[in-house]
Structure 1
Amino acid sequence: MNIRRILFATGEVVPNNGQGYFPNDIKQLYNVPAQLDGTGQTIGILEFSNGYNLRDATQFWNAHNIPTPSVTFVSVDGTRNDGGVRPSDEEATLDLQWAGAMAPAAHIIVYEANGGQTYGEFAAAVTRSLTYILNDTQHHPSVLSISYGDAETSFPSSDIQKWDELIRQLDLKGITVCVSSGDDGAYGLHNPNGPRVKHADAPASVPHAVAVGGTSLQPDGSESAWTYNGPQNGGASGGGFSSIFPLPSAQSGITGTTVNGTSVTPSGRGIPDIACNADPATGYQIIFQSQPAVVGGTSVSSPVFAAIIALANQNRAAQNKTPLSGVGQALYAQNALSSYNDITTGNNSFDGVEGYAATTGWDACTGLGSFDAAKLINYLATL
């Protein structure tokens, strides 16, 4: 069950005359170092009942003069790659194409599992997959991207706590786990008929993951929170506070989030940690079933940021340093703050639930903000 929506945008507001951002646009706007390409790194992408067509990916990479990355399909439980034939396969398609675009020399492992038909089956699939990757002695990813999830209330808290323990163990092994913060704003539920209260998404809310939220990035480099603006880009950056996990020590100083102009005291683990472009109105190009399409959502933000972590690990390897661990905590250090583009406009209200406003410093719709990749990579080299 794919429980992360992929949103599409049409119209002349989309960059490149409606074609969406190209890889070089994102690299330039986020100052990605040209000398880094992911050499020596492995990026894991976790998919649930979503397949991909490698011909689509190769067509996309070729169109943008990107060397074709090495891609390996790994079935966690016998689930096959269906070849990208169903509409829901846009998820795996965009994950693969954009991780490869940002770090083309990295080896990409697509871990596939059966997501089931219920939230309980999906929760079991997440546990099964994280356990498999933790014990994978063959492929050795140094970063993992997960673009799936839903409100914490959709899953037993025991499952979510189990995910955090598994992600903690992965992190200790030098595998940074990046997770989309959600596309349903502060509401956080895919079910449009749920209670009109705020929800934080899981597994993004687990303290040992890096939760990646969404912004709206303009071609001039200006940026705001991904805010609901009607059906065309009918979503908003997921963000809020966990009802399961307390505020981590790394977030002890976060104070800059408001609702309707009133300061909110953090009540639990806050998400997201960081953000980048996700608004479908400033969306990303992909190739799906041989045709170009424009996509958005934090489903794209997560593999893009995961690729940045791969570049950071490449940079660390050149300095004889081990892969990163503890990134989620390290992002909040004082020395890291100059690496971010603070987002101070927009909000993540959605589906009748008043959300959080973007404001100076950390907030519960864009986290610490978006990133200057070169500065962030240089900072991560000091850890």
Structure 2
Amino acid sequence: MHVLKHIHFADAHRPSQALANGGQGYFPADIRRLYNIPTNLTGAGQTIGILEFSSGYSLQDATLFWQMHGITPPNVVFVSVDGTRNDGGTSVDDEEASLDLQWAAAIAPGARFVIYEANAGETYPEFEAAMLRTLNYIVNDHLHQPSVLSISYGDGEDSFDAEALQSIADLIQKLDERGVTVCIASGDQGAYGLHNPFGPYARHADAPATSPHAVAVGGTHLYAHGGECAWTYLGPQNGGASGGGFSDIFAKPPWQTAVPGHARGVPDLALNADPASGYQIVFQGQSAIVGGTSVACPVFAAIIALANERRATLGRKPLSSLPQYLYTYANKLGFHDIVVGNNTYNGVIGYEAIPGWDAVTGFGSVDATQFIDTLVKDVP
């Protein structure tokens, strides 16, 4: 049993007549319009790091996707953390790296992209070691110096060793304090939280998204007119739902005043993730449709790069402590509060989307223009 089958989130695909563009899925121009992403920002001067674990990519596929949408191909650098090669997008598992790169660059094409590749291994302890290896590498990477990271891997906290998760969280905190915003997908298995469908049938929050100093990105269903509901699917195929819940390891950070209870709550916010309102990519030379918080996460990471670009023009440093400021300035950040849906999954009753923060979509999705303006004007 290959551990990647249980930790990568880009596995929730299903066709739908509701898909945009005649069934081709959302294009970059659609996402820019629906989330009001400013057209005068490209991420220029910023470096986005994308973490991949035994998932390669085809630059030819990516370039074809960008050219299809009038996007100038960005500068992409491949960094092997431990000698793992980029296999060029030839494996079915490579869809993850492909969608991460294609969509992050679709939103911030002027940024530089560094793909940090490591061997995921075959077991959860091996994956923990790979994550620690990669984060340690980035902490000491004085050559590329990313200002934002995107991580679309994880599983329920119960799958991992608590000490390893604490070590991962410590490295994320160190990066955050240095001005590197770490964005992590909250998962595609709703409140159930586990890739293993056979239990235990209880609520599980996904790690490493529960790391207090990471930004946990959940999922929505995005309608063509711009409205949204929580990403929920209750059909017999268990087609995915927004990961969310409360940590069994990490206490509630002091800035999560909007969160009930005493534990770290996730997600912090959400973007489109439902495969039924999915995104177009090019994979192995063919157009494909993807969903999952795997896509929401790199899209959000790219929005942070746009904010850092704007901050740089004013002589400001890249954002740090963003998880804290999401809660401090929640009323100013232009969140689209989502109040419909839940994240019930695999027979485990989930949380309800309610006014304000909830353990399905966090504070909701963003009006990116207002979001960036606030991060530039109000956040130190």
Q: TM-score range by the shorter chain?
A: over 0.9
Asked if the contact 1:114/1:125 (under 8 Å) is kept, the reply is yes
Q: State the alpha-carbon separation in 2 of the partners of residues 105 and 233 from structure 1.
A: 38
Report how far residue 70 of structure 1 moved.
Answer: 0.6
Q: Which runs of 4+ in 1 moved over 6 A?
A: none
* Offset from partner CA, 1:131-168 (integer Å, 9 cap, x none): 00000010010000000000011011000000110001
Determine helix, strand or coil for the equivalent of 1:331.
Answer: helix
CA distance in 1, matches of 2:238, 2:104: 23
Is the 8 Å Cα contact of residues 330 and 336 (structure 1) preserved in structure 2?
Answer: no
Which residue is 1:36 aligned to?
41
1:103 aligns with 2:75: no
- 2:230 counterpart residue number: 225
Which of 312, 318, 322 is the aligned partner of 1:317?
Answer: 312
CA contact (8 A) 2:219 2:271 kept: yes
Matches within 5 A, 1:66-215: 66-215=71-220
Across the aligned residues of Structure 1 and Structure 2, the Cα RMSD in angstroms comes to 1.1
Q: Give a deviation string over 1:66-94, Cα, whole Å, max 9, x none.
A: 01111000000000000000111000000
Per-residue deviation, 1:230: 2.2
Q: What corresponds to 1:240 in structure 2?
A: 245
1:47 is matched with: 52
The gaps in structure 2 that reach 5 residues or longer are none
**CA distance in structure 2 between the aligned counterparts of 1:334 and 1:171, rounded to whole angstroms:** 18
From 4, 7, 17, the equivalent of 2:8 is 4
C-alpha change, 1:170 and 1:204, in structure 2 (3 Å) is same
Matches of 1:184 and 1:253, distance apart in 2:
24
CA pair 233-57 structure 1, distance change in 2 beyond 3 A: farther
Aligned-partner Cα distance in 1 for 2:331–2:53: 34
The alpha-carbon distance between structure 1 residues 338 and 39, as it changes in their structure 2 partners (threshold 3 A), is closer
Instruction: Single out whichever of 332-341 and 78-87 deviates more from structure 2.
Output: 332-341
CA distance in 1, matches of 2:15, 2:57: 23
CA distance in structure 2 between the partners assigned to 1:19 and 1:100 by the alignment: 19
Deviates more, 1:48-57 or 1:332-341: 332-341
Are the equivalent residues in 1 in contact too, given 2:258–2:357 (CA < 8 A)?
no
How far, CA to CA, are the matches of 2:119 and 2:375 in structure 1? 35
Q: Secondary structure at the match of 2:369?
A: helix
Q: Structure 2: how far apart are the matches of 1:277 and 1:234?
A: 15
| Cα offset, 1:276, TM superposition | 0.3
Asked if 1:273 is matched to 2:277, the reply is no
SS of corresponding position for 2:150:
strand
Relative to structure 1, the CA distance from residue 292 to residue 270 in structure 2 (aligned partners, 3 Å threshold; closer, same or farther) is same
Residue 338 of structure 1, CA deviation: 4.6
Q: Aligned partner of 1:328: which letter?
A: P
Whole-Å separation in 1 of the counterparts to 2:92 and 2:349: 31
Give the SS at the match of 1:285. Answer: strand
* Alpha-carbon distance in structure 2 between the residues aligned to 1:266 and 1:274: 18
Q: Calculate the TM-score normalised by the size of structure 2.
A: 0.96
Identity %: 59
Instruction: Confirm or deny that 1:372 pairs with 2:367.
Output: yes
Partner of 1:300: 295
Displacement of 1:9 in angstroms is 2.5
Alpha-carbon deviations, 1:185-221, whole Å to 9, x = none? 0000000011110000000001010000000000000
Amino acid aligned to 1:220:
H
How do 1:250-269 and structure 2 match up within 5 A?
Answer: 250-254=255-259, 265-269=260-264
Between the aligned partners of 1:166 and 1:338, the Cα distance in structure 2 is: 27
Q: Is the 1:43–1:144 Cα contact (8 Å) retained in structure 2?
A: yes
Query: Shift in Å at residue 233 of structure 1?
Result: 7.1
Q: Is 1:333 equivalent to 2:328 in the alignment?
A: yes
Structure 2 SS opposite 1:8: coil
Amino acid at match of 1:5: F
**TM-score (structure 1 length as normaliser):** 0.96
Q: Is the CA contact (8 Å cut-off) linking 1:38 and 1:106 kept in structure 2?
A: yes
Please state how far the C-alpha of 1:334 moved relative to its aligned partner: 3.9
Q: Residues 8 and 232 of structure 1 are in contact (CA less than 8 Å); yes or no, is this contact kept in structure 2?
A: no
1:162-187: per-residue Cα shift (whole Å, max 9, x none)?
01100011011110000000000000
